[in-house]
Amino acid sequence: MRGKMEVYLDNAATTRVSDQVQSVMNQVFDSDFGNPSSLHRKGMEAERYIRQAKEQIARSLKAEPKEIIFTSGGTESNNMAVIGAALAMRRTGKHLITTQFEHASVYNPMLFLKDMGFTVDFAPVDAMGHVQIQKLLELVQKDTILVSVMYVNNEVGAVQNIAEISAAVKKKNSGILFHTDAVQAYGKYKICPKKEGIDLLSASGHKLHGPKGSGFLYIRDKVHIIPLIYGGGQQKGMRSGTENVPAIAGFGAAAEETYSKHEAKIAQMYEQKQKFVEQLGKMPGVKVNAVTESLTDCAPNIVSASFEGVRAEVLLHALEEEGVYVSSGSACSSNHPGISGSLKAIGVESKLLDSTIRFSFTFDTTQKEIDYALDQLNKLLPVLRQYKRH
């Protein structure tokens, strides 16, 4: 690595914890380390961090602090929303709808519920990764109790019009709860659950320069779900167990920092993405996935590209040797190698399914870093394509 530039373009997997977030967390670790359930001063100091983080996150959503439940991350939040809502409403119906495009932490809980006797339907998406709303509506029944649609797809960056989908669903069946996995959207978009018809929303701290192991579930006031964790009754019984105060405080600080001068940060990412996509398009045998003519219809931070004639894993490690860090898909799915369901859902050619790389930026990414990554791609691709694939 000596003499080589280090370029981290895997921010959809995780981001660096910001200096400001580290400072807040260190304060909790070093001085304000009490148990927030304790009645003495140390406990009250710890509880104050939780209250402040709820207020910081609630402000970003134009929600109420009481509507925020802290979790260990996006996976737990999605499980809590999907399973908790289904169990709470099973006397009303046992039909659930999601999409072919979901993260495993929604998809697998749906399969778990299916094994428990629920019926699950998966709505299709088009080549741009947008949910086919009419086909989704055709799946809605009288006994449908929950619809879950990902806000931003974690692999290709496709963005759903959640407000439109939710309104259409509830017009057909007003009793349905609407959940969105906003793990890749929170911090990139100004989300207003009440305006967008969202009853349940999942988010994760480490996608926006907060710590790993931090997440929240927004539960709209008056919505009832069944808790998955029982114990001492913390967080009003919705998620028992001693709260992870350093992580919660860090998440709150990350939310406040991210939504400060937010529009400028997002505009910068879109500008960098535009240049990156344009340069990829000039490379022979490269196809950028799920991008519309106006890139603002896609997430500002994610680019999915397929490289004909090169295996994704080979290209990933070749880039790594040059100091460039990318992903061959979602970090979670990378633990279970296989062909991406998201890529199949949008109709990526079979010969390109295992030749696709995800690049993901943050507002700290520089143009110099992006140019370096492009230079390495231009250098490596002709060499890697000389080797026949078996």
Instruction: Give kind and range of the element (H or E) at residue 263.
Output: helix 262-281
Distances (CA, A) of 157 to 47, 73, 81, 186, 245: 36, 20, 22, 13, 31
CA distances from 52 to 57, 203, 245 (A): 9, 17, 11
Q: In which residue are the tokens 């001693």 written?
A: 242
User: Per the residue annotation, which of 223, 332, 339, 353 is the catalytic one?
Assistant: 332
Q: Is the dihedral of CA 79, 161, 263, 343 positive or negative?
A: positive
Residue 328 Cα distances to 13, 156, 165, 356, angstroms = 11, 11, 30, 6
DSSP code for 325? E
Q: Say if residue 353 is exposed, middle or buried (CB neighbours under 10 Å; 0-12, 13-18, 19+).
A: middle
Q: How many whole angstroms separate alpha carbon 180 and alpha carbon 73? A: 14
Helix H or strand E encompassing 306: strand 302-307
Selection from 109, 302, 133 nearest residue 200 by Cα: 109
* Contact indicator for 207, 184 with CB cutoff of 8 Å: yes
- Record the tokens describing residue 184, joined without a space: 């890749």
Selection from 204, 154, 160 nearest residue 178 by Cα? 160
Residues 6+ apart with CB under 8 A from 64: 58, 221
Strand 200-204 and strand 177-181: the pairing is parallel
The 10 Å Cβ neighbour count of residue 19 is 9
Q: What is the DSSP string of 203-262?
A: EEGGGTTS-TT-EEEEE-TT-----S--SS-TGGGTS-S---HHHHHHHHHHHHHHTTTH
CA–CA separation, 248 vs 217, rounded Å? Answer: 13
Does the annotation count 332 as an active-site position?
Answer: yes
Residues carrying an active site annotation: 332
